[in-house]
Amino acid sequence: MASCITNGIDITGVRASLYPMRTDFANQILTSVVATDTTAVWQQTDLFSTVYRGVAANVVDAAAGLFVNAYDTSTHLVGEFTFSKGCPGDIAGDSYLTGQQLRPNATVIQEKGSFPVHCKYSFYTFGRDDYMAEIAQIVALAKAAGLQPKSAHYCTFLTGTAAQLFAYFDQILNYAHAPMSHYVVEATVSVNSPSLEEQ
Amino acid sequence: MASCITNGIDITGVRASLYPMRTDFANQILTSVVATDTTAVWQQTDLFSTVYRGVAANVVDAAAGLFVNAYDTSTHLVGEFTFSKGCPGDIAGDSYLTGQQLRPNATVIQEKGSFPVHCKYSFYTFGRDDYMAEIAQIVALAKAAGLQPKSAHYCTFLTGTAAQLFAYFDQILNYAHAPMSHYVVEATVSVNSPSLEEQ
């Protein structure tokens, strides 16, 4: 199995998919992909997603940039994000690693990321018996971050602003990075859902 | 932690979300939810998803029914499915378990499910060191099912018909059910993507 270590730095990655629920969805996705500053990450777009890989902080920055750039005030938009570190099948060659904590999208995330989001997410870690205790710790960090975690079937719900949510992802990737050899965060982020009006 | 065992039968569940990329998305989702026969499962719809729970075969049947009922020949539709068994946080009360293998949507899946789909998916199992070997076995079953598995960053790609794909999900849930105390399948299914025309 391929190693995920390149030059002594662990690769983190995200697979990000955008689902704008409107007929002109393709243009909205493409505009967002182009608007996002990806100078700090390796990137590749396939049929499903855009993949960013590199240092964890840089990867979360690119994912957050992609989502806030895709946002508008009227479209029901869903983003699906798979953050991962330590996948033994990861390809060490496909990466861009300076070892620096770069966040070239930080300004746009701060300026545009104050809109409310809802999120469902799950934290998975592998090859260890204490994985449920680690999930509890990850959820405790969400509570401390003011994201109001709520248990649901097969996931936890969060609510806050986009900027808050991605800052939390940055925090939990940082929390998991050193002690966990392999983890995955599966997160789905929703804005402007018409179902909110019924609640 | 709550047990997932009710009357000696393990609960399997799926969290299914539909993303029709068109302005009239809400109607397409609602029509599909109503058209799906859910007499064999417990069900609940929330902000993100419809959750079906019960016996594995019945749960896959409901998920497949939901997806083929949402399909039309022109809309770019994505379905996100989280299949799971054994989550220690699962609520034993929210379930409908007869212990019978019921597939009330089988006819509609067979009649309407011959359209081509693309899928990205990951198989996760917890609390055991051999999880990578189990992933390899799950992918081998996809190859045997004719779904042409292809490795990608953080997932595996599959292609086939909708009916084939959900039959495969039924097969792997059956494979994992007895030996694995806790597993998750995260699958995203796409139809009518305009990106296919560029390939």
pLDDT in tens, chain A (199 residues): 333 444 445 789 999 999 999 999 999 999 999 999 999 999 999 999 999 999 999 999 999 999 999 999 999 999 999 999 987 766 656 666 777 888 999 999 999 999 999 999 999 999 989 999 999 999 999 999 999 999 999 999 999 999 999 999 999 999 999 899 899 999 999 999 998 876 5
Query: Is A197 in CB contact (< 8 Å) with chain B?
Result: no
Interface test with B, best of A96, A153, A189, A199 (most B CBs within 10 A): A153
Task: Please choose, from the candidates B199, B193, B195, B196, the residue with its C-alpha nearest in 3D space to the C-alpha of residue B77.
Answer: B193
Query: Which residue in A120, A151, A184 is closest to B48 by CB distance?
Result: A120
What chain A residue is nearest to B14 in terms of C-alpha separation? A154
Q: What pLDDT score was predicted for residue B86? A: 86
Query: Is B163 in CB contact (< 8 Å) with chain A?
Result: no
Q: What pLDDT score was predicted for residue A94? A: 63
C-alpha–C-alpha distance, residues A50 and A20, integer Å = 15
Check if the beta carbon of residue B139 is closer than 8 Å to that of residue B133. Answer: no
Q: What pLDDT score was predicted for residue A9? A: 53
Check if the beta carbon of residue A168 is closer than 8 Å to that of residue A194. Answer: no
Question: For residue B67, what are the CA distances in angstroms to A123, A169, B60, B188?
Answer: 26, 30, 11, 11
Residue B11 counted as domain residue: yes
Mean pLDDT score across all residues of chain B? 91
Query: What are the chain B neighbours of A23 within 8 Å (beta carbons)?
Result: 21-23
**The dihedral sign for the CA sequence B94, B187, B72, A49:** positive
Structure tokens at A4: 């995920």
Check if the beta carbon of residue A189 is closer than 8 Å to that of residue A113. Answer: no
Query: Is A152 in CB contact (< 8 Å) with chain B?
Result: yes
The ipTM is 0.93
Check if the beta carbon of residue B95 is closer than 8 Å to that of residue B56. Answer: no
Q: What pLDDT score was predicted for residue A74? A: 95
What SS3 class is residue B140?
Answer: helix
For B86-144, write each residue's pLDDT tens digit: 877 666 566 667 778 889 999 999 999 999 999 999 999 999 899 999 999 999 999 99
Amino acid at B40: A
How many domains is chain A partitioned into structurally?
A: 1
Check if the beta carbon of residue B32 is closer than 8 Å to that of residue B70. Answer: yes
Contacts of residue A39, defined as CB under 8 A and 6 or more positions apart, other chains included, come to A102, A104
Q: What pLDDT score was predicted for residue B126? A: 94
Q: Could A128 and B124 be called an inter-chain contact, meaning their C-beta atoms sit closer than 8 Å?
A: no
C-alpha–C-alpha distance, residues B52 and B40, integer Å = 9
Share of chain B above pLDDT 70, in %: 90
Q: What pLDDT score was predicted for residue B130? A: 92
List the CATH number of the domain containing B188: 3.30.70.930
Amino acid at A2: A
Domain ranges, residue A43: 5-198
Query: What are the chain B neighbours of A1 within 8 Å (beta carbons)?
Result: 132
pLDDT of residue B7 exceeding 50, the answer is no
C-alpha–C-alpha distance, residues A112 and B53, integer Å = 39
Q: Could A21 and B21 be called an inter-chain contact, meaning their C-beta atoms sit closer than 8 Å?
A: yes
Q: What pLDDT score was predicted for residue B6? A: 44
Q: What pLDDT score was predicted for residue A95? A: 67
Question: For residue B113, what are the CA distances in angstroms to A118, B162, B173?
Answer: 32, 5, 20
Q: What pLDDT score was predicted for residue A93? A: 61
Residue B98 counted as domain residue: no
Structure tokens at B116: 């081509």
What SS3 class is residue A91?
Answer: coil
Q: Could B124 and A127 be called an inter-chain contact, meaning their C-beta atoms sit closer than 8 Å?
A: no
Q: What pLDDT score was predicted for residue B92? A: 59
